[in-house]
Chains A and B, each alone.
Chain A
Amino acid sequence: MKEVMLDCYGEACPVPLVKSQNKIKELEVGDVLIVQIDHSCAMKNVPEWARKEGYNVEVEEVDDGEWEVIIEKTK
């Protein structure tokens, strides 16, 4: 089980989503992907996409307008 950070600071939609989709393909089941974002638009599509895929998702607001989307690859 490893944890991978994906830095998407400064990136607008749909870049964080596309990057997340590509990155998660490289991970094993049980691994955790942490997507760092600061564009609120990505807060709408990244967690929704990940939940729709069936992954476990939690979001931490690390600062005002900065989030870490924590995605556990469950399958």
Chain B
Amino acid sequence: MAREKVVEHYDVIIIGGGPAGLSAAIYSGRARLKTILLEKALVGGLATYTNEIANYPGFPDAPKGEAITNLMKEQAKNMGVDFKLTAVTSVDLHGEEKVVETFRNKFIGKVVIIATGGRPRTTGAEREEEFLFDKGISFCATCDAAGNTDKHVVVIGSGDAAIEEGMFLTKFARQVTVSVMHEEGKMDCNEIAKEAALANPKMKFVWNSVVKRFEGNDHLERVVLKNVKTDEEIPVDCDNCFEFIGYLPNTELFEGQLPLTRHKYITVNEKKETGIEGVFAIGDCTDKWLKQIATAVGDGAIAGTAAERYIAEKEIFDHKIMQSEKPGLIYVYNAIDAESRNFLANIEAIEKQHAGKIVVNRIDTYKSNGLALKLELEKVPAMVVTKDGKITEKIYELNESLIANQF
């Protein structure tokens, strides 16, 4: 029989420890929310795969990705965030209590922030599976470059990652052969990287090519490319191969629970809210235009703050606004609207008239719209009458006697 899982309660559960998740953790921890961050492998995410980060503001010396993310981690720890290095096996996001399960634990949270990022896409070429990890196909130049001293490596792809990491590899390797899908001279990377790569004597290019097959015995020995125009096979003998052909979002866990795009990215709004209340998604797993550390930490700041707001509002809504001890009157108004502001005096009169017998709450939508949305009003101003913590009436007319007669 399986061992009982240990149950732990948190305000905020963050899934994924890349820059987005770390940033959300810092904001959530700083808001004094009890926060846990779950990471399946190394804290830092895909940023740790990059050898030089030249465009993250505040770090002019282009440090390794890991150097930056380690500082983020330290900062989150200082804010009291708990870290657990394990994979999430299942989630149940519906309902007020969100459940996130790992191999040995069951975490229950008020809020879940999804920051699961992406993983490198593979070519899908023949026999690729046989050579993954340490058998010759790698996705991380930073990790494996030193092992390629004086060797011949093949790089697949022509985006920023492919070309920049490819150039980094030339510091070690004897030769770097780059397979580019496009016509001669055309690459997906930025112009600066392109010029530098074309001028690099250790870099060779095979244009109009994709991978057809990987060959070798115990270890990769040959990458067989295919010319996309002529179908001609081009065998390239090499020691190792690096694939940099984009990323796939890690969203399998959420399929069927959250709205995803056709390419399986999570759809979010400006506040990083998903289709489910209390569930936010940030970083590379979401449908966004630019995937950078700088945008990921921005996402994290939004979600961390939105999570705090959500929990605070929910607390007020459940315990104060929807109190069940006495009949309640909730006045929802917009403080910048003169008419509804003036009616506050009438509300006060009603409160006096029924002093001690009813509970009156006032919600100013100008400050925050969240509570009003929860009441599902057609328009504002509005009066909501409650009994035993349940809504019995919604009144949209500013009429004192009509409202007073409800009690």
B-contacting residues of A (Cβ < 8 Å)? 12-14, 17-18, 40-41, 43-45, 47-49, 51, 56-61, 67
Contact A57 B103 (CB under 8 A): yes
Known contacts A13-B134, A14-B134, A40-B44; 14 further A-B pairs (Cβ under 8 A):
A13-B147, A18-B134, A40-B66, A41-B143, A43-B41, A44-B42, A45-B133, A48-B133, A49-B133, A57-B103, A58-B102, A58-B103, A59-B41, A60-B85
**Residue from A12, A17, A58 in contact with B85 in the complex, judged by beta carbons closer than 8 Å:** A58
Is B86 on the interface with A (CB-CB < 8 A)? yes
Find residues 74-97 in chain B having any chain A CB closer than 8 Å to their own CB: 83, 85-87
Contact A51 B87 (CB under 8 A): yes
Is B144 on the interface with A (CB-CB < 8 A)? yes
**Residue from A17, A56, A57, A61 in contact with B133 in the complex, judged by beta carbons closer than 8 Å:** A17
Distance between Cα atoms of A74 and B315 in the complex (Å)? 43
Find residues 32-54 in chain B having any chain A CB closer than 8 Å to their own CB: 40-42, 44, 48-49
Distance between Cα atoms of A73 and B49 in the complex (Å)? 28
Distance between Cα atoms of A45 and B132 in the complex (Å)? 10
**Chain B window 142-156, contacts with chain A (Cβ cutoff 8 Å), 1 for yes, 0 for no:** 111011000000000
Is B291 on the interface with A (CB-CB < 8 A)? no
Contact B87 A13 (CB under 8 A): no
Given A14-B134, A59-B86, also A44-B48 (CB < 8 A): yes
**Residue from B40, B48, B85, B144 in contact with A40 in the complex, judged by beta carbons closer than 8 Å:** B48
Contact A47 B41 (CB under 8 A): yes
Distance between Cα atoms of A41 and B48 in the complex (Å)? 9
Given A14-B133, A58-B104, also A67-B85 (CB < 8 A): yes
Q: Specify which chain B residues have a CB less than 8 angstroms from the CB of A67 in the assembled complex.
A: 85
Is B363 on the interface with A (CB-CB < 8 A)? no
Q: Specify which chain A residues have a CB less than 8 angstroms from the CB of B146 in the assembled complex.
A: 12
Q: Specify which chain A residues have a CB less than 8 angstroms from the CB of B42 in the assembled complex.
A: 40, 43-44
